[in-house]
Structure 1
């Protein structure tokens, strides 16, 4: 019987500093409640764009990691038309790419045709999956680590299909 292994949010954050070569994410949700609590989200709703601080600690850390040759990639699933939260993340992609990430997008209809997972997750160094659990209010409630090689391979197959069919974020319909 599989017993889920949950880690703290702090331990999850630490995984980004400890990775050796890559971190890859599939973002599947229509909204993230944590985004809506930020000043940048409020600015986006008011102005349709955000003045991102590329020198904040998150950006500095990601830029430093990228400079060491570590890859950070994401595929974001977008509804047609994108939700306000998804449009915010498209604007956020400007910040992420400026500090070294590569972000692609895939329409939800195409993701459904491909029968991609609807789970939100990160894969670290192609060896560990951090499955992000959310509640019905779109709050992240936990991070489950998956290390069984057979299960990790299943997520890696989702990664390969999503990456292949996705397009660069700046080609997305807003």
Structure 2
């Protein structure tokens, strides 16, 4: 059984989770990123001065300071897309708030048969499956609570974490291959 929720309700999940929130990011880019001033700054300069005092950062610091775990594995093409390079730079901001930021090459994700869709898993109890259109715009979120499906995504999380690299290590590897 699944339920569609709006983006506002989805945002509330990041304030109400009890012990863990983890995401697999699989897309080559996101429309929401391309709309940001920081994306333009990144395209022009190759780096961004990140705001560590916005709503997201304040909430993530509060959650991780309270002992909750937040993390992500971002799937990256070889060579990385501009959107993926932007997110690799953005990992500095996420990490500064206490998030565990990691990366995995797409070829490895495919070998591991990880899901092709983006999702968050909250408290190992339910999945927030993110639905995008062809232009990479988030349309809605599907909450999945069926234990067998949650377990499938939890197994994907465990495999992604095991085979991924911390973003700093991954960023150094990407920089070395691009230079």
Q: Does 1:118 align with 2:116?
A: yes
**How many angstroms does 1:61 deviate by?**
1.0
TM-superposed deviation, 1:55:
1.2
**Residue 170 of structure 1, CA deviation:** 1.1
RMSD value, Cα:
0.8
Residue matched to 1:54: 52
Deviation at 1:68, TM superposition (A): 0.1
Indicate the SS of the match to 2:50: coil
DSSP 3-state at the match of 1:29? coil
1-structure distance, mates of 2:68, 2:107: 31
What residue ranges of structure 1 are gaps of 5+ in the alignment? none
Give the superposition deviation at 1:89.
0.2
Q: CA deviation at 1:84?
A: 0.2
Tell me the secondary structure at the aligned position of residue 153 of structure 1. Answer: helix
* Structure 1 residue ranges, 4+ long, deviating more than 2 angstroms after superposition: none
Aligned residue for 2:39, secondary structure, equals: helix
TM-score (norm 1): 0.97
Q: Which residue of 2 aligns with 1:97?
A: 95
Tell me, which stretches of 5 or more residues in structure 2 are unaligned?
none
**Matching residue of 2:155:** 157
What CA distance in whole angstroms lies between the structure 2 residues aligned with 1:26 and 1:171? 18
Match of 2:79 among 68, 73, 81: 81
CA distance in 2, matches of 1:107, 1:34: 22
Structure 1: distance between partners of 2:73 and 2:42: 21
Distance 2:158 2:130 in 1: 19
In 1, Cα distance between equivalents of 2:34 and 2:136: 10
Give SS of 1:61's match.
helix
Q: TM-score, normalised by structure 2?
A: 0.94
Deviation at 1:99, TM superposition (A): 0.7
Aligned to 2:12: 14
Partner residue in 1 for 2:69: 71
Aligned partners of 1:150, 1:17: CA distance in 2, in Å?
26
User: In 2, distance between residues paired with 1:111 and 1:56?
Assistant: 32
The count of corresponding residues between Structure 1 and Structure 2 is 172
Residue 15 of structure 1: how far off its partner (Å) = 0.4
Paired residue secondary structure (1:77): strand
